[in-house]
Amino acid sequence: MFRIDLSRRLSEFVGVLLFALALVWLIALATYSPTDAVWFFNSGGVTPPLNLVGMAGSFLSEASYQVLGIASYLFPPMLAVVGWFAFWCRPIGAAYTKLIGLALMVACVSSLLDLALGTVDVAGKSFLAGGYAGYGIAVGLMSQLNRTGAFILIVTVLVLSVILATQFSFSRFFSRIGRQAARTSARAGRWWTARRTARQQRRAAKRKAARARKAPEPEETPAPEPTPAAIRVAGAAAAQNGQANDTADAVLADLPLRPPDPEPGELLVDPPQQPAARFALEESEPAALPFDPPEEPEAVNGSSPAPPP
């Protein structure tokens, strides 16, 4: 296992340098100008150069585009990751394996770009998409496998290089995608079921309201017309009830609400008999005749009495 066997202070120093180099490389690639004077490539260009990193940036960007094309943008992030590990004094496990994986990744990306794009335009200047390195790899593979076979082989090696250079696991990645897809599908199914149930309930409520509006009101059955005999019987009963009610009302009107309070020094006597009790007693006793019947004459000499005139 390869470890950054440096003191902490030196590790931080190396990490900062790698961060700075990654930033300079990225700015040089982003501000490339084909008119700049570049060592070895274009000595008669414009000076001072338009590249933000100066002559060094112009040379670095020109060389990167010529050799690797657009694949040159892979180097700044790689340097930043290595600088991060160095700054925090973290060991890089299986460093040689990762280094081989990174080299294969750069070669595969550059050749794949050459197969897919051919040439690209950068700031008005045409470059090979994968640089001369990618072009050479692509041409060599196509001479043996043709374009389709070269494409399949490059993609296969690219996947293997990702596994070597990183701790990325495609099996875990796809299993995680499968679980997420299953959860999303279940959530969508529950949402669809709830929506369908709510829609059915709304439809049932609308049908019930429509039936309630269309339901006929119950007709009132007219009362039968009374016959003459029923009218006479009802009139007689009403007359009797009216007379009884009038008599009861008159009797109750004569009754005092409460007995008067006795005066001071007055003897307390039993209250008089209530009219209702008196009336009940009188009703229970037979009424006295208004006149006495005439006495029958005595029979004389056994003869029958004379009839009354």
CA distance 150 to 156: 10
Judged by DSSP in three states, 53 sits in coil
Q: What is the pLDDT of residue 97?
A: 85
In a domain, 139, yes or no: yes
Q: What is the pLDDT of residue 17?
A: 93
Residues 6+ apart with CB under 8 A from 22: 75, 76, 77, 78, 79, 80, 83
The torsion angle over the Cα atoms of residues 70, 71, 73 and 78, rounded to 10 degrees, is: 180
Q: What is the pLDDT along the chain (309 residues), one digit of tens a residue?
A: 445 455 778 888 888 999 999 999 999 999 988 888 787 777 766 678 888 888 888 889 989 999 999 999 999 999 999 888 888 888 777 778 888 888 999 999 999 999 988 888 888 888 899 899 999 999 999 998 888 999 999 999 999 888 888 877 777 777 888 888 888 889 898 999 998 899 889 888 888 888 887 756 666 666 666 555 555 555 566 556 555 555 545 544 554 555 556 555 554 455 555 554 444 444 444 544 444 455 554 444 444 444 444
Peptide linkage before 48 cis (omega within 30 of 0): yes
In a domain, 222, yes or no: no
In a domain, 16, yes or no: yes
Q: What is the pLDDT of residue 4?
A: 47
In a domain, 278, yes or no: no
Which pair of structure tokens corresponds to residue 82? 């290595």
Is there a contact between 2 and 96 (Cβ–Cβ < 8 Å)?
Answer: yes
In a domain, 177, yes or no: no
Q: What is the pLDDT of residue 2?
A: 45
Is there a contact between 120 and 111 (Cβ–Cβ < 8 Å)?
Answer: no
Residue type, 205: A
Q: What is the pLDDT of residue 235?
A: 57
In a domain, 149, yes or no: yes
Range of the domain at 132: 8-168
In a domain, 158, yes or no: yes
Residue 161: other Cβ atoms inside 10 A: 20
To the nearest 10 degrees (0 to 180), the angle between helices 8-30 and 75-87 is 160
- The alpha carbons of the chain give a radius of gyration, in whole angstroms, of 62
**Among candidate residues 172, 159, 38, the one with its CA nearest the CA of residue 105:** 159
Report how many domains make up the chain: 1
In a domain, 40, yes or no: yes
